[in-house]
Amino acid sequence: MKASWDIFCSVVDNYGDIGVTWRLARQLVAEQGQDVRLWVDDLTAFARICPGADPAASRQLHQGVELCHWPAQWPDVAAADVVIEAFACHLPPAYIEAMARRAAKPLWLNLEYLSAEDWVEGCHGLPSMQPGGLQKFFFFPGFAAATGGLLRERDLLVQRRAWQQDEQTRATFLRRLGVEPMAGARRISLFAYENPVLPGWLEALVADQQATQLLVPEGRILSSLSDWAGTSLAVGDRLQKGSLQIQVLPFVSQDDYDRLLWSCDLNAVRGEDSFVRAQWAGRPLLWHIYQQDEDAHLEKLQAFLRLYTAGMPSAAGAALDDLFLAWNTGADITNAWQRLQQSWPAQCEQAERWCDQQAKQRDLAAALVLFYQNWL
C-alpha cells in the first residue's frame, strides 16, 4: 500500500545522520513503492555521499526521493501519512500543528540510533502521548528479532557475493579509484575519527611479515595519519614504509563505498552506517564508535561485542574484544592485533556467519512499512 512519508534529518555532524536517512529514503521508494520526501537542514554532507546533488537547491529529485532543504522559516506544507523524525530531531512546530489538523492522524515515529544493548528490545515500538491527540512511537534499529532490524537492500548480499567472486571487476573498480591492487597484500580500508592508537597499529603493519595495502578515504583520520607520516597527506598520495603501503582515496558515493568494503580483507569503520555496511561485507571489521559523554559509548561497544563474539572460539573472541577496546580507549593495540592475526580464519568465518544470521531478520525499511500497516 502506497503512503506518503516525510523524513526529517538534522545534520549534527559527520555523515551518519544523512547517511542513514538517505539510505532509508531510497529503499522505501525502490523496494517498498512509497512516496518519500527527505527534509535535511544542511545538504553539504548529502552532496558528498550522493555526487550530482546540489547542496544549494531547495528541492531536488534523486533516485525517486524528493530531497528538500529544511529551511529555518518553515513553509506551509501538508503533513504526510507517516512522519519520521530521525535521531530525535525536533520537528517544526508548524508541521506538528499540520499533523494534528489532519482528519486521519499521521503515524509519527522517532527513528533512534543503533544500539546492541538489551534494553532496546523493551523500548522498540513504545508510544508516547503528544499534544494535539498525536502519538509518537520509538523505532529502534537493532540486531535482535524484537527490534526494528538493520537497513539492508533486498539484493545487497547477492551483489556483494558476486563482487567478491569476481577479481576482474574488483580490480577495475579499484583502478577507477586510482588504486593498483597489490598481489599478495592484505587490503584494509580505514574510515575512523582521529585516533591516538593509530601510530601503534601502523608501526605493527610496517614491521609485519605480510604486506598491507591500506586504503584511506579522505576524512578526519587523515590528520592522525599525517602526524604519524610526518607529512601532510592528501587525496591521491601514496606512501610506502616497510611492509605498509598507504594510499589516500577520494571520498566516494555511498554505493562505491560499499564496493570498497567488499574489496577489502578488513574494514575499519566508524559511527553507525559504515559500521553496518562493514557487517554486510562479510569481512572482519574494526569499529571506531562515536564517542558519547560519560563513556556511554563503551557500553554500546561491549553490548555489540557480546552478541558478535558469542559462539566464536574463545581466543578469537577475546582477541577481537581487546582489539576493539584498544582502538576505542587508547590502550596499546599491538598485542591484540597479533592475536587477531593468529585467529584470522575464525575471524573470517564469524564475519560471514554474523552476516548470514543478521540477514535472517526483516530489514528496517520493510519493518517500518509493516509497523505502519499494523498501526492503521
Binding status of residue 336 toward ligand TRH by CB under 6 A? no
> Residue with C-alpha cell 556511554?
296
What minimum distance in Å lies between the beta carbon of 272 and ligand TRH? 4
Question: Which of 6, 8, 9, 19 forms a contact with ligand TRH (CB under 6 A)?
Answer: 19
Contact between 270 and ligand TRH (CB under 6 A)? yes
Check if 272 is active-site: yes
Among 32, 247, 274, 328, binds ligand TRH (CB under 6 A): 274
**Strand 186-190 to strand 266-270: parallel, antiparallel, or no bridges (unpaired)?**
parallel
Nearer to ligand TRH, 247 or 274 (CB): 274
Q: Rank residues 148 and 219 by Cβ distance to ligand TRH and give the closer one.
A: 219
Between residues 21 and 350, which has the closer beta carbon with respect to ligand TRH?
Answer: 21
**Amino acid at the residue 78:** A
Least distance CB 217 / ligand TRH (angstroms): 4
Residues 32-61, one symbol each (x = binds ligand TRH by CB under 6 A, - = not), give -----------------x------------
- Per-residue 3-state assignment (H helix, E strand, C coil) for 187-251: EEEECCCCCCCHHHHHHHHHHCCCCEEEEEECCCHHHHHHHHHCCCCCCCCEEEECCEEEEEECC
What's the longest Cα–Cα distance across the chain? 69
> Which of 112, 256, 272, 363 is labelled catalytic?
272
- The SS3 call for residue 106 is coil
253 DSSP assignment: -
CB of 246 to ligand TRH, least distance (A): 15
Contacts of 258 (CB under 8 A, 6+ apart): 156, 160, 277, 280, 281
Our CB check for ligand TRH shows the closer of 213 and 343 to be: 213
Position among 125, 142, 148, 271 found at the interface with ligand TRH (CB under 6 A): 271
Number of residues that bind ligand TRH (CB under 6 A): 24
Q: At what angle do helices 273-280 and 156-164 cross, to 10 degrees?
A: 60
Taking CB under 6 A as the binding criterion, the range among 35-43, 133-141, 272-280, 315-323 that sits at the site for ligand TRH is 272-280
CB-wise, 74 or 251, nearer to ligand TRH? 251
- Which of these segments, 14-22, 24-32, 128-136, 364-372, binds ligand TRH (CB under 6 A)? 14-22
CA distances from 213 to 153, 158, 188, 210, 242 (A): 29, 26, 6, 10, 11
Could you tell me the smallest distance in angstroms from the CB atom of residue 371 to ligand TRH?
22
14 binds ligand TRH (CB under 6 A): yes
Q: In angstroms, give the least distance from the CB of 17 to ligand TRH.
A: 5
Helix 16-32 with 364-375: angle, nearest 10 deg: 70
In this structure, the chain runs to a length of 376
What end-to-end distance do the CA atoms of the chain give, in Å? 11
> Which one, 14 or 302, has the nearer CB to ligand TRH?
14
Task: Say whether 17 is catalytic.
Answer: yes
Q: Is 126 exposed, middle or buried (0-12, 13-18, 19+ CB in 10 A)?
A: exposed
Binding mask 201-220 for ligand TRH (x = CB under 6 A): ----------------x-x-
Q: How far is Cα 224 from Cα 238, in angstroms, rounded to an integer? A: 16
d(CA 144, CA 71): 37
**What is the crossing angle of helices 16-32 and 273-280, to 10°?**
50
Shorter beta-carbon distance to ligand TRH: residue 39 or 372: 39
Can you give the binding site for ligand TRH, defined by CB under 6 A? 12-17, 19, 49, 113, 191, 217, 219, 251-254, 257, 270-275, 290
Catalytic residues: 17, 272
